[in-house]
Amino acid sequence: MRQPISIIILGALSGFLFLFSLLAWMSYDRSEKTTALLSDIGQTALPNMHNAMILNMGILEIPYLNEQLAQANSQAMRRIVNQEILNVSARIEQHLLDSKQANLEVKFQLIVDELANLNALVQHKLNLAVIIQQYETELYRYHAEALSLANGSSDLSIWLMHFSSVVTQANRSLGLTGLQDLRNMRVQLSAMLNEQYQLIEGLDPSVHKLAETYTLTLNHLLLADNGVIALRTEQLRVAGRVAGRTNFIRSLVSDFIKETDYEMLVLQQSLRGHITLNTQDAEKDARVFLLVYSVAFCFIIVSIVFLKVRVLNRLAHLKNRVLAQVGGQPHVIQIDGNDEIADLAGAFNYYALKAKEHNEKVEKLSLTDALTGIGNRRAFDEALKHDIELSVALDSPLCILMIDVDYFKNYNDFYGHQAGDECLRKIAKVLQYTVTRKQDFVARYGGEEFICILQDTDSKAAQQVAQRILQAIEALHIEHKTSKIAKHITVSIGISCRGSGGALKVDSVIKEADQALYQAKAEGRNRVVLRETSMGLALVNPANP
């Protein structure tokens, strides 16, 4: 049953009114002050803190969406992310408008404008990518046409070989990521085309016109103001502007969050000040009561004890617990009773819980690989330390799978970094679907390397899991023309296992897994090699024996 403090105090004072009218009036004044304080807290402080918390929750979505927009690899993805940004921005703007925070409205509008500029840059970058792809297709078609027309002509053989080398070099320029490298490539292509013109001068008049036409067209495709090299240069410049704009928005959001946090701190300090003043006023009133009404000493003592136990001590306790929470002590505030002070304690507990959830979310993001969505190197280090301690404590086996994508550098060079990133994401999904136990762990170790921790798993079971991984990745049929062992993406897997009763250290288990992976690659790749640390053995299990 709810027992409001104001009603209890007024009830006690009504009995005292028959004996001491002045004391009743002073007591009533005291109760009114206390009620006013609690009302102010309930109607002003708590709503303001609640509004600040909602604003923080909304603004924390902006950095993630900012990164997603900058990394969009298609117009469809860009439009989806931009629409989500618009939705989140609309909610935040409406909240700022309702709470009448004009200074924050101006700063958030700057963030919105910068996001719009970033969206325009990303759109321009993606448009350039489409145009460059069209030019690349046209270049390949034109090269094939030249080969077909010149086939069988001995007079054109030397010219044709040089023509093909120019096309090949032009193709390499599309993979360059530095502006200086691209400028050097332009100079190199210009020199090669000049050599092409010199070769034309020595050709038979019957083929001279044909060779000259193809060379002029190739020169236009590559070196014109709207040619491949110029478009690629513009694309790199826009990409740099996208990165700079992304960092600037991240800085703006960080400043915005700091200001909202500061305003929340001011609210907390104001609330603590009101509680402190109320406590001081109540203690002063208690002393005045003792001086004025010595006759009612016993009754006044009882009244003061009641006030201190029911109100003052609880408020002081609440203040101390709030200060402890602000200082970082993760304690739940326990206030007995069913009244306004208990409600206030519950509100502080709710805010502390939400703050903890936000911190856990940030911690989770710091342990997640941004590209693949699985654990990163830091998450793996923490998980491995924990699992080794658990394995030793329970005397249970533990296996580590170190996985490396075969000839991935060749794949990146041939298909491009975007295709490489997509390939890594697909492999990460395969690992998640294959290693499904709750106690197991999957992470990206670095570059094209992944790693799995199999808790309570012996070497035989670990080999079975590794085989399933090999088969699942092979089933993806990701084309890999530059692989030296297959026409699709494959992986090599090194396993290190600690059997029951074996000693185990973090460095040794990773070293064993790495040596097993090295052996798998040395023996032809696309296979599994097992090393058991407690026995010092190495067993090879190829994917296709």
**Which H, E and C letters describe 450-474, residue by residue?**
EEEEEECCCHHHHHHHHHHHHHHHH
- Cβ(372)–Cβ(425) under 8 Å? yes
Architecture category of domain 377-542 in CATH:
2-Layer Sandwich (3.30)
The Cα angle at residue 435 between residues 72 and 65, in degrees rounded to 5:
20
Query: What confidence tier does 301 reach under pLDDT thresholds 50, 70, 90?
Result: confident
Q: Which of 79-88, 332-341, 373-382, 426-435 has the lowest mean pLDDT?
A: 332-341
The torsion of the CA quartet 402, 407, 413, 414, rounded to 10 degrees, works out to -130
Phi, psi of 91 (to 5 degrees): -65, -45
- Cβ(407)–Cβ(488) under 8 Å? no
117 burial class (0-12, 13-18, 19+ CB within 10 angstroms)? Answer: middle
Average pLDDT over residues 185-192: 83
More confident residue, 360 or 86: 86
* 262 closest CA partner among 50, 52, 106, 94: 52
Each residue of 494-530: pLDDT tens digit?
A: 999 887 665 567 788 899 999 999 999 999 999 999 9
* 174 closest CA partner among 144, 132, 138, 216: 132
Distance, in Å, from the CA atom of 115 to the CA atom of 84, rounded to the nearest integer, reads 12
- Cβ(88)–Cβ(65) under 8 Å? yes
Highest mean pLDDT among 10-19, 20-29, 476-485, 532-541: 476-485
Quick check: is 138 catalytic? no
Helix (H, G, I), strand (E, B) or coil at 15: helix
The single-letter code of the amino acid at 381 is: D
Phi, psi of 445 (to 5 degrees): -80, -25
Each residue of 70-99: pLDDT tens digit?
A: 888 888 888 998 898 888 888 888 877 777
Average pLDDT over residues 287-312: 72
Q: Count CB-CB contacts under 10 A for residue 96.
A: 21
Query: What confidence tier does 124 reach under pLDDT thresholds 50, 70, 90?
Result: confident
Distance, in Å, from the CA atom of 36 to the CA atom of 472, rounded to the nearest integer, reads 68
| DSSP class per residue in 185-213 | HHHHHHHHHHHHHHHHHTS-HHHHHHHHH
Distance, in Å, from the CA atom of 246 to the CA atom of 248, rounded to the nearest integer, reads 5
Residue 29 has pLDDT above 50, yes or no: yes
281 burial class (0-12, 13-18, 19+ CB within 10 angstroms)? Answer: middle
Average pLDDT over residues 339-365: 64
* 216 closest CA partner among 153, 146, 156: 146
pTM: 0.41
Distance, in Å, from the CA atom of 15 to the CA atom of 6, rounded to the nearest integer, reads 15
Catalytic option among 114, 263, 340, 448: 448
Distance, in Å, from the CA atom of 420 to the CA atom of 413, rounded to the nearest integer, reads 9
E-only strand ranges, 216-260:
none
| DSSP class per residue in 149-180 | HHTT-GGGHHHHHHHHHHHHHHHHHTT---HH
Distance, in Å, from the CA atom of 259 to the CA atom of 55, rounded to the nearest integer, reads 11
Residue ranges in 367-416 assigned as alpha helix (H): 377-394, 408-415
